[in-house]
Amino acid sequence: MPPPEQVTLQRVVDLADLDLRAFLEGEIRAGGLTASEGRELLMETLPGWAAPYENASATVAADLYDQKRYASGVDLVVPYAPALAPPAEPARWGILASWALAPVVDETDWSAAFQKIVGGAHRTIADAHRNTTMGNAVADRGARGWKRVGRGSKTCDFCKMLIHRGDVYDSISVQFKSHDHCRCAAETEFESIEALEFSELGGSARKRVQTDADRARVREWLRWERDANPDF
Identified binder of Zn ion from the candidate list 97, 149, 159, 185, rule CB under 5 A: 159
Q: Does 182 bind Zn ion (CB under 5 A)?
A: yes
Residue with nearest beta carbon to Zn ion: 159
Q: Is-contact 149 186, C-beta < 8 A?
A: yes
DSSP 151: -
User: Cα(149)–Cα(65) distance, rounded to whole angstroms?
Assistant: 14
Q: Shortest Cβ distance from residue 5 to Zn ion (Å)?
A: 12
Select the span of 8-16, 55-63, 80-88, 174-182 touching Zn ion (CB under 5 A).
174-182
Identified binder of Zn ion from the candidate list 125, 184, 185, 186, rule CB under 5 A: 184
Task: Give the nearer residue to Zn ion in terms of CB position, either 68 or 123.
Answer: 123
Q: Is-contact 85 131, C-beta < 8 A?
A: yes
Q: Is-contact 49 22, C-beta < 8 A?
A: no
Q: Which residue type is seen at 201?
A: L
User: Cα(231)–Cα(227) distance, rounded to whole angstroms?
Assistant: 9
Residues 6+ apart with CB under 8 A from 84: 55, 58, 59, 62, 128, 132
Q: Shortest Cβ distance from residue 21 to Zn ion (Å)?
A: 20
Q: Is-contact 121 162, C-beta < 8 A?
A: no
Task: Give the nearer residue to Zn ion in terms of CB position, either 62 or 159.
Answer: 159
Q: Shortest Cβ distance from residue 148 to Zn ion (Å)?
A: 8
Identified binder of Zn ion from the candidate list 156, 162, 163, 168, rule CB under 5 A: 156
Please give the size of the binding site for Zn ion, defined by CB under 5 A: 4
Strands 185-190 and 143-149: antiparallel
Q: Shortest Cβ distance from residue 145 to Zn ion (Å)?
A: 19
Q: Shortest Cβ distance from residue 178 to Zn ion (Å)?
A: 6
Element spanning 146, H or E: strand 143-149
Task: Give the nearer residue to Zn ion in terms of CB position, either 118 or 182.
Answer: 182
Task: Give the nearer residue to Zn ion in terms of CB position, either 6 or 72.
Answer: 6
Select the span of 122-130, 183-191, 203-211, 214-222 touching Zn ion (CB under 5 A).
183-191
Q: Shortest Cβ distance from residue 158 to Zn ion (Å)?
A: 6
Q: Is-contact 115 164, C-beta < 8 A?
A: no
What number of residues does the chain have?
232
Task: Give the nearer residue to Zn ion in terms of CB position, either 7 or 156.
Answer: 156
Site of interaction with Zn ion (CB under 5 A): 156, 159, 182, 184
